[in-house]
Amino acid sequence: MGYLRIAGTDEVGRGPLAGPVVAAAVIMPLEFEADWKLLVNDSKQVKPALREELFLYITEIAIGFGVGECDVRTIDSKGIAKASRLAMKKAVDKITPPPDFLLVDFFNIPEIKLPQKGITHGDCLSFSIACASIIAKVARDHMMEELDKIYPEYKFAEHKGYSTPEHLACLQRFGPSPIHRCSFQPVRDLMAML
């Protein structure tokens, strides 16, 4: 179609009870040789140690990439779907040189005025979307590890804010922290009891 700078974009962190939603957008070279290309997949399908390694490879060879996030206040006030799209817009806006076309995991982003195509299961079908998925996941994991230093009682470095039995037990014991999503159950239910 004549587009040269095609960015893949994806977000992570829609489901957790705590922490930001994080998106990445990346323009990869059209043609390059690297053994690691075959290891790139949806970040949920890649083990953490390999994700970290791929993150370095991807960001080193990328023509341009950006990471965007929306905090819990935005998630609670605008909803997770809108916050996810805003995080994607922030990520796309940080790419230099800017993309002229977007490939997006699953849906289009009306907040971004660029030609785009939403691809169902795009993080498994599109190399650049999968690369964006890995960048976003590693970036969010690092954010949650930093937040763990501020709120160590919640063990965010271990579960990254997702609804694990350990996280739910910490919520019951300590109540919600400032980075918990008050609009998400069971945080909302716990807030109602306080």
Within 8 A by CB and 6+ apart from 52, the residues are 138
Pick the CATH number of 6-193 from 3.40.630.30, 3.30.420.10, 3.90.76.10, 3.40.640.10: 3.30.420.10
> Phi and psi at residue 21, in whole multiples of 5°?
-95, 135
Q: What residues does each domain of the chain span?
A: 6-193
Which stretches within 44-186 are classed as H helix? 48-61, 72-78, 80-93, 122-125, 127-150, 156-159, 165-174
pTM of the model: 0.97
Query: What does the pLDDT look like over 6-36, one tens digit per residue?
Result: 999 999 999 999 999 999 999 999 899 999 9
Q: Residue 1 has what pLDDT?
A: 83
| Token pair belonging to 55 | 């993150």
pLDDT band with cut points at 50, 70 and 90 for residue 150? very high
**Does the pLDDT at position 194 exceed 80?**
no
